[in-house]
Structure 1
Amino acid sequence: MNTLQDKAIGTLVGAAVGDAIGGATEGRSTQEIVERYDGYVEGIVDYFMPDWRTAKPMSPYHKGEGHVTDDTLMTNLLVAVYAKNRRHLTAFDMADDLVPLMMNEVTWIPELERETVPLLRVFLAEKWLVTRLHYGHVDPREAGVGNIVNCGAAMYMAPVGIANAGDPTGAYAEAVEVAGAHQSSYGREAAAVFAAAVAAAMAPGATVDGVLAAATGIARDGTRTAIEACLAVVEPGTDWREAIPLLRAAVTPFDSVGEVYREPAQDSRRPSRLRSIEELPVALGFLKATGGEARGTVLGATNYGRDSDSIATMGGALAGALGGESAVPADWAEIVGTASRLDLRAGGRTMAAVAAEIFAADQAAWHQRHEAFEALLEDRSGA
């Protein structure tokens, strides 16, 4: 079908499914994953740690079993901001609308198995939004400066790509603006490149090659080099299992976290023009290896480990944008929607309607500019 709505639904369903499946293995190495599950993860699995309630007191999260994580929670909040404003967003909308939702919008948090506000689930890098914008009253356009540089903004930028469907350059510019309230340096850059890739995938007849070209062409500094390195080590048809060590080796020179994911290196997550977040280049690598297949992209990300939920979120979103809702395994979507108590299709329907309104407004604005510019040319020719 591949209509605007179908692609928008596919994007956000793919993102949520990837998030939920990848969440079970987050922070682990491929070896640990294979040992825990007696082989590669092939779908929705139970929690990695049976004692998840007490093993990590700061983050007692019930991962696995179809539970979405903060990636999806933040994505849904951004959809809500678009639904309210129904136009292109700015960093000020993050302060005026997203932050209050984080603080006050009581919702079901699958990993906590209770209703509460999203602020109590998100990671410290996302709590930064509330600290800087609500309590610090920092200019939203600069609030991301000083935060740890990670994928925190990139993981929920898919709606920006939908809002700018077919316009990667516009998506990049809007995401740079929006993500500035949350991230800086290569964290902000990755958010913009991911949004651009989603916008490219939303176009009619979009291909994997076209999406990869859009991402590579628009990315800057270490983000571009890391993407190019990851894409160079896999070919379409590379089995996702074989792609895991290839992609890890390719992204390692650009990843500041280090080999032991839970013990970051001394210079990890600091601003740099040479570094890149790990998640986006690896997600694009799996997308290339699988030819854009959602199942393989998500499973590759899940078994890659490390920040597997965000890698799978980005890969799932891109595969869903390319192929529409039918590209995402329906059995996975049904389980995730039920387990997380979410209507996974609702966000896509909302974003498709908002994107259509944004496009109509853009057309009207362009028409006004065209008339003004034509008049300027006429004045010059008559002078």
Structure 2
Amino acid sequence: MISIRDRARGCLLGLAAGDALGAPAENLTPEAIAARWGVLSEIEGGGTDDTEYTIFVAGLLVRHGHALTSEDIERAWRTEIVDRVDGSMRGAGFSELGTVRALRRGLRPPLTGRWHRHGWSDGLAMRAAPYGIFAAGDPAEAARLAEADGRVSHTGEGILGGRAVAAAVAVAMTGAAPSEVAQAALEAVPEDSWTGRNLRAALAVAAAHGQENGQGFARALHDAVVGAHYPWTDLAPEAVALALAAYVRGGGQVEASVVTAANLGRDADTTAAIAGALAGAGRGEAAVPERWVRRIGPVEGRCLPAVAGRHVRDVADELVEGT
């Protein structure tokens, strides 16, 4: 039997591995990835802001628990992020940069998530896994906590993406089948939302394409959910749909899910991180390939100096102790 601690470790190790594996494929097409790597399956470097912001969120939950509010999160942004930014925020996404600027202008939530006009980004979805760990088995509570976070930095579909990931992780933490995990993501968002429509379309592609050639699956999935003429790749409705489809197609196995997601390109570090978090939560620490685990060390704090030196395994243990 897999313990909650093992699932929590698996979730964050899977997330960190997906982040690192997908990083060099960010903004690429599946065809470009295939031309360069064949199949991208080995970690080449370190993780990105996805892992660092995940650790930041976990710290908030350890300190505040279920009582966590948007005001707590805003205060932490000001003291742990804004006050410690020296020069540019290396590796930060549009929503993070915009939120920092909004806070510096003296704005308060929810205006901080609306002012910068990147509230639809996947910046909340990328860091939502700790809410699912903390509220394991309670997807509604996980989604509620993620939404409280999202009101500081996101709006609309960006918040829905975070809700979907948090709820899905909460169900994956019970060892549920991938189909049940995907259903939890769907139930966390309005049926007629962009996120909901994309999720249903992506899951339909995953069901229809089975185990056929990866390029055929990737192209069908892109046709179904990717905004081909939009210049940026960090759209929450797109990234969450790609990640859930990769996770389902990978049968909930960590390596299959993460590799599938990374090779889809677009915001590949985030989609692979989400897929890894879901699969790791479902299968536990031992299911994360050891060759990947060896490449995951303490984060460097390149984007968030406040989390430098933290290891996701220790963070997972703290989350479980705080539940």
TM-score for the superposition, normalised by structure 2: 0.88
Alignment check: 8 A CA contact 2:142 2:167 kept: yes
Task: Specify the alignment match of 2:303 in structure 1.
Answer: none
Partner letter of residue 163 of structure 1? F
From 80, 84, 94, the counterpart of 2:73: 94
1:319 and 2:318 correspond: no
Task: Specify the alignment match of 2:255 in structure 1.
Answer: 295
Counterpart CA distance in 2 for 1:75 and 1:285 is 22
From 99, 116, 133, the counterpart of 1:129: 99
Pairwise CA distance, 1:238: 2.3
In the TM superposition, what whole-angstrom CA distance separates every residue of 1:132-182 from its partner, at most 9, and x where no partner exists?
Answer: 23x223222342113312101111011111121110111112211211111
Counterpart CA distance in 1 for 2:217 and 2:72 is 39
Partner letter of residue 9 of structure 2? I
Partner letter of residue 97 of structure 2? K
Task: Specify the alignment match of 1:214 in structure 2.
Answer: 184
The structure-2 alpha-carbon separation of the partners of 1:125 and 1:196, relative to structure 1 and needing over 3 Å to count, comes to: same
RCO comparison, higher one (Cα < 8 Å, 6+) = 2
| SS state at 2:112 partner | coil
Count of aligned residue pairs for this structure pair = 309
Task: Specify the alignment match of 2:82 in structure 1.
Answer: 103
Counterpart CA distance in 2 for 1:297 and 1:239 is 15
Task: Specify the alignment match of 1:278 in structure 2.
Answer: 238
The structure-2 alpha-carbon separation of the partners of 1:313 and 1:240, relative to structure 1 and needing over 3 Å to count, comes to: farther
Counterpart CA distance in 1 for 2:170 and 2:58 is 15
Pairwise CA distance, 1:346: 1.0
The structure-2 alpha-carbon separation of the partners of 1:297 and 1:118, relative to structure 1 and needing over 3 Å to count, comes to: farther
Task: Specify the alignment match of 1:74 in structure 2.
Answer: 53
Pairwise CA distance, 1:73: 1.1
Partner letter of residue 171 of structure 1? A
Pairwise CA distance, 1:285: 0.6
Unaligned ranges ≥5, structure 1: 45-64, 107-115, 270-275, 357-383
| SS state at 1:233 partner | helix
Counterpart CA distance in 1 for 2:94 and 2:240 is 20
From 170, 175, 183, the counterpart of 1:199: 170
Partner letter of residue 227 of structure 1? L
Task: Specify the alignment match of 2:205 in structure 1.
Answer: 233
Alignment check: 8 A CA contact 2:163 2:185 kept: no
Is the deviation greater in 216-225 or in 9-18? 216-225
Unaligned ranges ≥5, structure 2: 301-308
| SS state at 1:304 partner | coil
TM-score for the superposition, normalised by structure 1: 0.75
Counterpart CA distance in 2 for 1:137 and 1:208 is 43
In the TM superposition, what whole-angstrom CA distance separates every residue of 1:337-380 from its partner, at most 9, and x where no partner exists?
Answer: 279675231111111112x2xxxxxxxxxxxxxxxxxxxxxxxx
The structure-2 alpha-carbon separation of the partners of 1:118 and 1:326, relative to structure 1 and needing over 3 Å to count, comes to: farther
Partner letter of residue 282 of structure 1? L
Task: Specify the alignment match of 1:374 in structure 2.
Answer: none
Task: Specify the alignment match of 1:273 in structure 2.
Answer: none
1:224 and 2:222 correspond: no
RMSD between superposed Cα atoms in Å: 2.4
Pairwise CA distance, 1:299: 0.9
Pairwise CA distance, 1:104: 4.9
Counterpart CA distance in 1 for 2:94 and 2:68 is 24
Alignment check: 8 A CA contact 2:66 2:145 kept: no
Alignment check: 8 A CA contact 2:247 2:261 kept: no
Counterpart CA distance in 2 for 1:150 and 1:124 is 7
The structure-2 alpha-carbon separation of the partners of 1:185 and 1:321, relative to structure 1 and needing over 3 Å to count, comes to: same
What's the % identity of the aligned pairs?
31
Pairwise CA distance, 1:42: 2.1
